[in-house]
Amino acid sequence: MTKLHLTRRGTLAAGFALATMLAAGSPSLAADFPDRQITLVVPFAAGGSTDVVSRILAQKMSDDLGQQVIVQNVAGAGGNLGADNVARADPDGYTILMGTVATHALNPLILKSTPYDPQKDFTPISLLVLVPNVLVVNPELPAKDVAELLALLKAEPGKYSYASSGNGTPLHLSGELFKSMAGVEMEHIPYKGSGPALNDLLGNQVSIMFDNLPSSSGHIKSGTLRALAVTTKERAPSFPEVPTIAETIPGYETYTWNALFAPPGTPADVVARLNAAANKALADPAVGERMKEFSATIVGSTPEELGAHVDAEIAKWTPIVRDAKIQLE
Amino acid sequence: MRSLTFDSTNALCGAVFIGLGGFFIYQSLNLDIGTALRMGPGYFPLVLAIILALLGVVILVQSTRVEGEPFGPIALRGMAFILPAPIVFGLTVRGLGFVPSLFLIALIAAFASARMKAPMAVVIAIAITLFSVVVFSYALGLPFQRFGPWVRF
Amino acid sequence: MDLFSNLALGFYTAASPENLFFCLVGVLLGTLVGVLPGIGATATIAMLLPITFQLEPVSSLIMLAGIYYGAQYGGSTTAILINMPGESSSAVTAIDGYQMARRGRAGAALSIAALGSFFAGTVSTFLVAIFAIPLTVIALKFGAAEYFSLMIVGLVSSVALAHGSIVKALAMVVLGLLLGLVGTDIYTGAPRFTLGIREYADGLNFVAVAVGVFGVAEILRNLEGEKTRTVLMSKVSGLWPTREDFKRMVGPVLRGTVIGSALGILPGGGAILAAFASYTVEKRISDKPQEFGQGAIAGVAGPESANNAGAQTSFIPLLTLGIPANPVMALMVGAMIIQGIVPGPNVAAEQPALFWGIIASMWIGNLMLVVLNLPLIGLWVKLLTIPYYVLFPIIMAFCSIGVYSVNSNVYDLYAVAFFGFVGYVLVKLRCEPAPLLLGFVLGPLLEENLRRAMILSRGDPTTFVTRPISAILLLIALAVLVVVFLPSVKAKREEVFQEED
C-alpha cells in the first residue's frame, strides 16, 4: 500500500470503514458479503465522464471485493431512470448507484417531479471524485480572460450565446449562475452531450461554452480552444495556469461530483464493506494517475460525510435554481 | 370488373394516417407552440402532424380511383404468440432472471407456428437458452442476473 | 513524403503480432455480435471497456475499432438473411438484399456486400490517411443551418427509396419524423408524445423500432397463411456472383464509396445518410429502376459500400478533433480517456504510432473480414435451410436480449412488440418501412438544427440561404426534388392517357 495518493479524508474514511467492520463483529452479513457479482448502475450513457470514472473504479473494487463489480448503463431522464432503479432495488448491497450532482441535487430541484427523494431514498456509501467545469471560448473571441468576456457581453448584450451539453445539466446551471452573478445576458444553446457542442464551438458557430474539464482538456492543451477559467473554488491541479471564475466573480463555485449510493435500508456493515472497497480503490496509485489525467480530484469520504454533502449541495443549489427560474417537466 | 372501383387497402391506409396525424395534432396542441421565429416544443411536431393528416387525405382520395389487390390473410396466431414474447421478457427478466425468462419467451414464440409440436418446442427453447447463456452471459458478459430474486430460494 | 513514413509507422504498429491478434479478436467478436440480431457494437464495446484497461492503448483501440466495423459487416449479413437490420445503415441493405435472399440469391448478395465493403474500406482508409486533417476543416464549417439543409437533402432523396406510391412514402417519412421526436424536447425539457411514460423520456430506442418494423413484422408476414404455403425461400441457386453480377456492381461500389467517404466525415448523422443517399443515386441512374426493391444488385452493392466507407471516415472527427460522430465513437473516446489519452487535435502529433496504427489496422481489419467472411457465406446460406418455425423463436430470443442489452430498459422491449404490430399493419397496408426508419433517425436532428439555427441567427430565417454551404445544399435538394418528381409526373400522365384509350 502506498500512502502517496491517499488524501487525508480518504485515509480517514478507510480507517472509519475498518473500525465499523471490526465493531460489527464477524458473524454478520458482511462476512459473506459479497458472495455474487455486484451491479453498479451508471445512470448515463456509456463513454461519458461518469461512465469512465465508474469503469475505472469498478475494476479496482472487484479486485478488493473478490467479486465482479459490473457496470450497467441505465441512461434516461437526465439520470433519473437509473437512480430510481437503485432506489427501488433490494437493499442488499448488490445493486448500487453511481450518483452525481445531477441525480442527487439538481434533478430533484429542476424537474417538476422526481420519482425519488435524494436524501431519504438512498443509503450513502462514499463520495468519490470532484470534477471541475470550465468556461471555454473559441480563440477567435476577443476575450482573453473573464473580465474581458464580461466587458464584451455588456458592450453588446444579446449578441453572444453559450453552449452546454443539455438543458438542466450542471453545465447549463453553471452558465446560468455565471449570468446571474455577473449580471450579463447570453442565450443558452443546449446540445445533446458535450461532443456536438464542442464541434460547434471549434467551428465558431457558438463562441462560448461551459464544459466538463475532462472533455475539453485536449483542446485547451492544443490551443484550439481557450480556457478562460475553471468553475471550482481552487485552480485545477491539471491546469494550474487557468484562473478560477471566483477570481473575477467572488463566491462563484460549481463542480460536478460522483458518489456511490445504495438503496435505502442497506445494512451498515454492507455499506461499510463497500465504502472500504471504494476508498481503497481511490487510494490505488494507478487510479490516482488516471483520475489526474482525467482532471478529477479524488476525495473519498465516510457514508456520513456523503450524506452531509448531499444536504449541503441541495441547500446550495435551491436558491440558484429558483432565481434562474429553471423548471423542467 | 366491379361497378365501384375502390381500393380498400389504400382507403384504410389513408384513414390510418389521418388518425395518426390527428393523434399527433391533438398531442402537439398540449405543448407550447411558439412562433416560427421562436419555435416552442409543439411547433415542429404540429406542422409534421398536419402534413401527415393531409397526406392521409390524399391517399384516401386516390384510393377511390383504382382497384386494389385483396388484403390477404392475417397472421392472427403469429401475433398472438410473437408479440407477447418481448413483453413477457420485459416483465420477467428482472424478477425471474435471464435464464428462466429467456426459456419462457423462446417457448412462447415457438408456438407461433401451427407446425410446432410441444416436445419440439421444449427442445428448441432449451437449446436457445443454453446457447444464449453461454454466449451472452458468460462469453460477452452482459450484466444480467442469471437467476432473479423470484427464483432465488 | 510525410504520408509514406506515417503510413509505414502505422503498418509497423498495426502489424505487430499482438496488435494483429487483437485486431482479429475485434473483427471476430464484431462479426459475431453483428450477426446476432438485435445486439450491436455499442453494447459489446461498453462491456469490453474495462478489459481494455489492461491492454496497451493501441491494442485496445484497434480491437474496439475492429468490433465496430466487424459489427457493421455482420449486421448486413442478418439484414440480408432475415431482414433484421441491427444498425441504421444496414436498413437500406435489407431492402434489396433480403429480396435477393428470397429469390435464392443469398450467397450472391452476401458476397457482393463483402466485396463492396472491402473495396470501400480500402479506399476510405487511404482517404482517412491522406485527408484526415484537411477534411476536419470542412466538417467544422457545418453549423446548425448546414446540418438542417443536409437533412433536407436526405429527406427529399428518401422518397426515391419507395418502390410503390410516392405519397405513401412521404407519409411514412413524416410518421418516422414524428416518432423520432418522441421524448424530451432538448430546448425546453418538455416531454413530447411519451404518454406519461418516463422510460421514453430519452426517445424511442432505434434498435427497438428497427427490429419491430423490419424484423418482427417480417416474421408475422411469413406466418400468415402458412398452412397453404410450403416453401418460403426459393431454392438456393449459385453461391457466388456471376460474371454479369460483377459487371453490375462495379459502378454502384465506386459511387457508394465516394458518397460514403464524403458523408461519413460529418459528425451527427452524416454516416447515416450515406447508405440512403447511395440507394437513391443508384435507383435514379439505373436503367431498370423497377428492379429496386425486388432484389437489385446495385441496391445492395452501392449502400453497402457507402455504409462501410462512411464507417471508416467517421473516425476522422474522432481522431483529429476527439469528437464522436455516433454512440460507438463516444465509447472510443471513453476508451481513450481510460487509457490516459486525451482525445483531441494533439493525438496525431503526440501519439503518431497510435494515430497511424489505428488507421492502418482498419485496412488490415477489413482484409481479415473479407478473408474470414467469404468462406462463411456457404454456412450462412445453409442457415436459411433451417425451417422457419425453428428460426423465429431464436430470432425473437436474440432480439429481446439485444434490445434489452442497450439500456436495460424493459420499455424498449414493449416498444419492440408495439412496433412489430405497427410494422405488420403498415406492411398489410402496402407501406414501406425504410422511409419510416430514415425519418425516425433524422427527425430529432432536423428539428434540433432548425431550432438551433433560428436561435443563432436571432430568428432570421434567411440564415439558410445566406450561408453558402447551406444554400448549395438547399439547391441540391431542389434539384433532387425536380429529378424525382418530374418522371413520376410524366409517368402519371402516360398512365392517365392509357386509361383513356
pLDDT tens-digit map of C407-438: 778 898 999 999 999 999 998 888 888 788 87
Any domain includes A1: no
How far apart CA A134 and CA A131 sit, in angstroms, is 10
pLDDT score recorded for residue A141: 93
Q: Containing domain of residue A185, as a range?
A: 132-247
Residue A329 within any structural domain of the chain: no
Are the C-beta atoms of C314 and C261 separated by less than 8 Å? no
Q: A270 and A209, same structural domain?
A: no
CA A309 from chain centre, in angstroms, equals 12
Whether A176 and A233 share a structural domain: yes
- Please name the residue of chain C whose CA is at the shortest distance from the CA of residue B56: C171
Residue A38 pairs with which residues in a beta bridge? A69
CA dist C142 and C150 (Å) reads 10
Evaluate if residue A195 carries a pLDDT over 50.
Answer: yes
Same domain, A117 and A261: yes
- List of long-range contacts for C181-185, beta carbons under 8 Å, 24+ apart: C181/B44, C181/B45, C181/B48, C181/C443, C181/C444, C181/C447, C183/C444, C184/A77, C185/B31, C185/B41
> Could you tell me which of C29, A43, C162, C230 has the C-alpha nearest to residue B115?
C230
Over residues C177-188, mean pLDDT: 87
* C132: Cα within 13 Å, side-chain hemisphere: 26
Category of C85 on φ-ψ map: left (φ > 0), alpha (ψ -120 to 50) or beta: beta
Residue C234 has pLDDT above 80, yes or no: no
Task: Give ipTM to 2 decimals.
Answer: 0.91
Question: What are C161's three cell numbers?
Answer: 427509396
- Residue C230: the pLDDT is 43
How much is the pLDDT for C497? 46
Q: Which residue of C has its CA nearest to B93?
A: C410
pLDDT value at B5 more than 70:
no
First to last CA, chain B: 69
Residue A184 and residue A85 share a domain = no
- pLDDT of A241 reads 93
Cell for C397?
430470443
| pLDDT, averaged across chain C | 81
**Can you give the pLDDT at residue C268?**
58
Alpha-carbon distance B145 to nearest alpha carbon in chain A (angstroms): 9
Nearest-angstrom CA–CA distance, C150 and C268:
11
Shared-domain flag, residues A43 and A98: yes
Does any domain span residue A23? yes
> Residue A226 above 90 pLDDT?
yes
Query: Are B110 and C393 an interchain contact pair (Cβ–Cβ within 8 Å)?
Result: yes
Residue in C with minimal Cα distance to A55: C50
Higher pLDDT pick, C233 / B151: B151
Query: Is residue A149 within 8 Å of A230, Cβ to Cβ?
Result: no
Do residue A259 and residue A317 come from a single domain? yes
Q: What is the mean pLDDT of chain A?
A: 84
Does the beta-carbon distance from C187 to A167 stay under 8 Å?
yes
A120 and A141 assigned to the same domain: no
Judge if A125 and A22 occupy the same domain.
yes
Residue B54 CB neighbour total at 10 angstroms: 15
Which three cell numbers, joined as nine digits, stand for A180? 446571474
DSSP-derived 3-state class of residue C230 = coil
C326 or B18, which is more confident? B18
Tell me which residue in B71, B140, B143 faces C44 most closely, judged by beta carbons: B140
> For residues B27 and C272, which has the higher predicted lDDT (pLDDT)?
B27
What integer pLDDT is reported at residue A18 of this predicted model?
Answer: 46
Q: Is the pLDDT of residue C41 over 80?
A: no
SS3 for A286?
Answer: helix
Residue A180 CB neighbour total at 10 angstroms: 12
- Give the three-class secondary structure for A149: helix
Q: Which of C162-166, C195-199, C433-437 shows the lowest mean pLDDT across its residues?
A: C162-166
What is the domain-level CATH number for residue A182? Answer: 3.40.190.10
Given A247, A278, A296, which residue is the final one in a domain?
A247
Residue A281, all three cell numbers? 480503490
Supply φ then ψ for residue A291, to 5 degrees: -65, -35
Per-residue pLDDT of C84-135, as tens digits, reads 776 666 778 888 888 888 888 888 899 999 899 899 988 988 888 887 777 7
Q: Which three cell numbers stand for residue C146?
A: 448546414
Maximum mean pLDDT: which of A74-83, A86-95, A318-327, C34-43: A86-95
pLDDT band (50, 70, 90) for residue A4 = very low
Give the alpha-carbon dihedral of C367, C369, C374, C375, to 10 degrees: 110
Work out the widest C-alpha separation in chain C, in whole angstroms.
Answer: 77
Residue A76 lies in a domain: yes
- The verdict on A100 and A19 lying in the same domain is yes
Q: Chains with ≥3 Cβ pairs under 8 A against C? A: A, B
Which member of C202, C333, C458 has the closest CB to residue A75?
C202
Residue A3 counted as domain residue? no
Average pLDDT over residues C254-261: 90
**Residue A201 shares a structural domain with residue A107:** no
**Domains identified in chain A, total number:** 2
CATH of the domain at A39: 3.40.190.150
Q: What's the pLDDT score for residue C163?
A: 62
Instruction: Give the residue extent of every domain in chain C.
Output: 2-462
Last residue of a domain, one of A247, A276, A296: A247
Tell me the angle at which helices C106-140 and C352-383 cross, rounded to the nearest 10 degrees. Answer: 150
Residue located via cell numbers 458478459: B141
Write out chain A residues lying below 8 Å of C199, CB-based.
Answer: 76, 81
DSSP A244: B
Least Cα distance to C272 among C70, C444, C96, C465 occurs for C444
Q: How far is it, in rounded angstroms, from Cα A125 to Cα A305?
A: 9
Give the tens place of pLDDT for each residue, A7-52. 444 444 444 444 444 444 433 445 678 888 899 999 887 777 888 8
Best probe of the B interface among C223, C224, C407, by most B CBs < 10 A, is: C223
User: Considering A207, A223, A247, which residue would you say is the last residue of a domain?
Assistant: A247
State the angle between helix axes of C388-407 and B118-132 in degrees (0 to 180), rounded to the nearest 10: 40
